[in-house]
């Protein structure tokens, strides 16, 4: 087993397991099965979000495993995210407290700003994606990303989270935060896979000491039909990936994950299938050669599967993509 890639040392000295379980779109009962399967398979990093509305189900399983002695809290790395409706600085502390209550935890290991655009808050904590009449997101009348960040920093000082990060942020947004930060972001969680390799963002963040956490690392095959296009390429069917998988006796998903790990990223493949969850962490017993890495890097199809989020806030100054 290649131990060197099993965790990443963050800029604040903490260690983050490099493979985590993604839980976007995982309904409550399914997510319980998924988290149990993940913990049994050796995962210690679980990624969720206020917006996913499954923190309570995840919290139940975490408590079940902690109380039975199957896992220790200090061995877990739990990530959740500030929703866009709670980005007003006065709402930030209350928002993490709502998440912690659902997760049944005193603190999370990493707390992210989910998206750089603040949405209008109408007092309803369940209305996480308020819409305008034309179906776009209802944007908050005023917002200031740097003021939101300062409110996030207080959470570290209060012991409610050990680390802070961002998600779906552009290079300039990460740079602006780093310039004023007392507690720097340790990661930027973004879409990243063979068709959207994020080379420029990765290099810029690396210079700032910010890691990249890749969501959709195997190309998000389970994303909703409403955001799929007929001509979307399928990462696991890419001939280069299939050829390499065959050579090592691995699945295409394992090769896709290994490629990102060797690039120095953290990956959070999402699955609710116990067999796939087990398979997705078996990525530390083989190495891709430089030639294979270059071959994968040379795939010239470029496609983002999540750029619709930018279209939902098209005229906003903080639209990241």
Which of the four pLDDT bands, split at 50, 70 and 90, describes residue 220?
confident
pLDDT higher than 80, residue 308: no
Q: Say which of 50, 52, 65, 215 is annotated catalytic.
A: 52
User: Who's near 92: CB < 8 A, 6+ residues apart?
Assistant: 82, 86, 148, 151, 152, 154, 155
Q: What is the pLDDT of residues 73-99, one digit of tens each?
A: 999 999 999 999 999 999 999 999 999
> Quick one: pLDDT at residue 3?
64
Cβ of 71: how many Cβ atoms within 10 Å? 17
Q: What is the pLDDT of residues 11-24, one digit of tens each?
A: 999 999 999 999 98
**C-alpha closest to that of 85 among 32, 125, 145:** 125
**pTM of this structure:** 0.96
Cβ of 151: how many Cβ atoms within 10 Å? 19
> Quick one: pLDDT at residue 270?
93
Which of the four pLDDT bands, split at 50, 70 and 90, describes residue 180?
very high
> Quick one: pLDDT at residue 4?
82
**C-alpha closest to that of 47 among 10, 99, 92:** 99
The pLDDT of 209-234, averaged and rounded, is: 90
- Does the active-site annotation cover 52? yes
- Tokens 């098209």, residue located: 314
Cβ of 263: how many Cβ atoms within 10 Å? 19
Cα–Cα distance for residue pair 104/199, rounded to 1 Å: 37
Q: What is the pLDDT of residues 238-277, one digit of tens each?
A: 999 999 999 999 999 999 999 999 999 999 999 989 999 9
> Quick one: pLDDT at residue 221?
82
> Quick one: pLDDT at residue 2?
55
Cα–Cα distance for residue pair 147/149, rounded to 1 Å: 5
């Amino acid at each position: 087993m290649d131990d060197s890639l099993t965790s990443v040392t963050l800029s604040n000295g903490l260690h983050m397991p490099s493979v985590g379980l993604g839980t976007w779109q995982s309904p409550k009962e399914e997510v319980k099965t998924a988290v149990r399967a993940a913990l049994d398979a050796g995962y210690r990093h679980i990624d969720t979000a206020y917006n996913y509305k499954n923190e309570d189900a995840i919290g139940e399983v975490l408590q079940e495993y902690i109380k039975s002695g199957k896992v220790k809290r200090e061995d877990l790395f739990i990530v959740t995210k500030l929703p866009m409706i709670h980005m007003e600085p006065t709402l930030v502390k209350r928002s993490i407290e709502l998440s912690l209550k659902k997760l049944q935890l005193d603190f999370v290991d990493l707390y992210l700003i989910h998206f750089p655009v603040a949405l209008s808050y109408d007092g309803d904590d369940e209305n996480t994606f308020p819409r305008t009449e034309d179906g776009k997101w209802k944007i908050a009348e005023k917002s200031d990303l740097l003021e939101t960040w300062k409110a996030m920093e207080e959470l570290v000082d209060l012991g409610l989270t050990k680390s802070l990060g961002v998600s779906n942020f552009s290079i300039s947004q990460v740079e602006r935060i780093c310039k004023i930060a007392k507690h720097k972001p340790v990661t930027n969680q973004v879409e990243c896979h063979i068709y959207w390799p994020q080379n420029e963002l990765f290099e810029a963040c690396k210079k700032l000491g910010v890691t990249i956490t890749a969501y959709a690392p195997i190309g998000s095959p389970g994303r909703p039909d409403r955001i799929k296009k007929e001509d979307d390429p399928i990462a696991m069917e890419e001939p280069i990936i299939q050829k390499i998988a065959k050579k090592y006796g691995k699945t295409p998903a394992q090769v896709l994950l290994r490629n990102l790990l060797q690039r120095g990223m953290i990956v959070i493949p999402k699955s609710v299938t116990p067999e796939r969850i087990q398979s997705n962490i078996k990525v530390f017993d083989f190495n891709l050669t430089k030639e294979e890495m270059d071959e994968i890097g040379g795939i010239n199809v470029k496609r983002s599967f999540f750029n619709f989020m930018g279209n939902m806030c098209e005229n906003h100054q903080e639209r990241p993509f």
